[in-house]
């Protein structure tokens, strides 16, 4: 009975934040799950989607466009070091295992499917795994640990990022109310990386080429008196001028923005938190 009560509690908190005026992080109980690869598919030329399923997905929680799971990979010696359940949290072994964070692109509880989209912008443990993932292969995921719940009461939403942020931006656009307005800026290498997006009619979609993101975003003009929420993600150094612009030009405080470096040139397993 306690587990049901706990779930009702955080679902009530999510509904409360969603109906309010200020974005807040809401935690969900974290579990370690053994899942299997169901299929893979290219999404444009820059992303590969791995669809996971199996009994281990039962009870998965998905409530926020920017929530993530950690994929846990074997070490170079082949050892797989998994965390242990610890109440609503996980106890991780030390040193920390080889993991990578990925946005929950889609979770379908009826079908029992979880989609993760991997950016193929170079070599790396996760991208290499996704390229070679075959149906029936086993994977281990932890999370999500929670997500940022953003009210639907803002006048406009400003979304921006590179290819690595595209899965989250796509989910953002799908989950905004039909009445939402704003902008989405996505920086990709070429037209082949552009994908079809489902968005409210009032949200402008701008596809950009490498190097254009910061300039294009800073040309946005927010109508006077309107509240805007800014969500941005991608390469850490590219986001630095946008962090300053959001703070100094738009005048947004920490409650009205979420800007996260998903990766950093020259750094493996970069973590902005």
Model pLDDT for residues 84-117, shown as the tens digit of each residue:
999 889 999 999 999 999 999 999 999 999 999 9
Lowest-confidence pick of 15-24, 120-129, 165-174: 120-129
Question: Do 6-147 and 152-263 have matching folds?
Answer: no
Q: What is the 3-state secondary structure (H, E, C) of the chain?
A: CHHHHHHHHHHHHHHHHHCCCCCEEEECCCCEEEEEEEEEEEECCCEEEEEEECHHHCCCCCCCCCCEEEEEECCCCCCCCCCEEECCEEECCCCCCEEEEEECCEEECCCCEEEEEEECCCCCHHHHHHHHCCCCCEEEEECCCEEEECCCCCCEEEEEEEHHHHHHHHHHHHHCCCCCEEEEEEEECCHHHCCCCCCCCEEEEEEEECCCHHHHHCCCCCCCCCCEEEEEEEEHHHHHHHHHHHHHCCCCCHHHEEEEEEEECCECCCCCC
- β-partners of residue 149 are 24
The percentage of the chain sitting over the pLDDT mark of 70, rounded to a whole number, equals: 95
pLDDT value at residue 273: 46
* Domain parsing of the chain, residue ranges: 6-147, 152-263
| Structure confidence at residue 1 (pLDDT) | 42
pLDDT at 177 > cutoff 90:
yes
The CATH class, in words, for 6-147 is mainly beta
- Looking at beta carbons, which pairs linking 207-212 to residues 24 or more positions away fall under 8 Å? 211/187, 212/187
pLDDT at residue 264 in the model: 84
Whether 16 shows a pLDDT value over 80: the answer reads yes
- For the domain made up of 152-263, give the CATH fold: Rossmann fold (3.40.50)
């Amino acid at each position: 009975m306690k587990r049901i009560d706990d779930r009702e509690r955080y679902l009530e908190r999510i509904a409360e934040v969603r109906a309010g005026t200020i974005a807040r992080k809401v935690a969900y109980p974290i579990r370690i799950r053994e899942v299997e690869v169901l299929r893979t598919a290219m999404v444009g030329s820059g992303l590969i989607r791995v669809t996971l399923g199996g009994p281990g997905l039962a009870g998965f929680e998905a409530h926020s466009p920017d929530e993530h799971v950690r994929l846990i990979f074997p070490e170079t010696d082949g050892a797989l070091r998994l965390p242990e359940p610890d109440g609503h949290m996980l106890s991780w072994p030390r040193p920390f295992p080889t993991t990578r964070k990925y946005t929950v692109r889609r979770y379908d509880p009826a079908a029992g499917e979880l989609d993760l989209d991997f950016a193929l912008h170079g070599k790396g443990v996760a991208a290499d795994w996704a390229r070679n993932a075959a149906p029936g292969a086993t994977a281990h995921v932890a999370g999500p640990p929670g997500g940022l719940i953003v009210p639907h009461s803002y006048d406009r939403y400003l979304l921006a990022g590179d290819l690595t942020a595209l899965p989250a931006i796509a989910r953002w656009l799908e989950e905004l109310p039909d009445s939402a307005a704003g902008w989405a800026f996505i920086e990709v290498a070429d037209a082949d990386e552009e994908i079809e997006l489902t968005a409210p009619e009032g949200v402008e979609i701008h596809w950009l080429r490498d190097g254009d993101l910061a300039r294009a975003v800073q040309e946005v003009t927010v109508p006077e008196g309107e509240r805007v929420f800014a969500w941005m993600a991608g390469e850490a150094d590219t986001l630095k001028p946008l962090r300053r612009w959001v703070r100094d030009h738009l005048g947004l405080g920490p409650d009205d923005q979420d800007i996260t470096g998903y990766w950093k040139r020259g750094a493996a397993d970069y973590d902005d938190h």
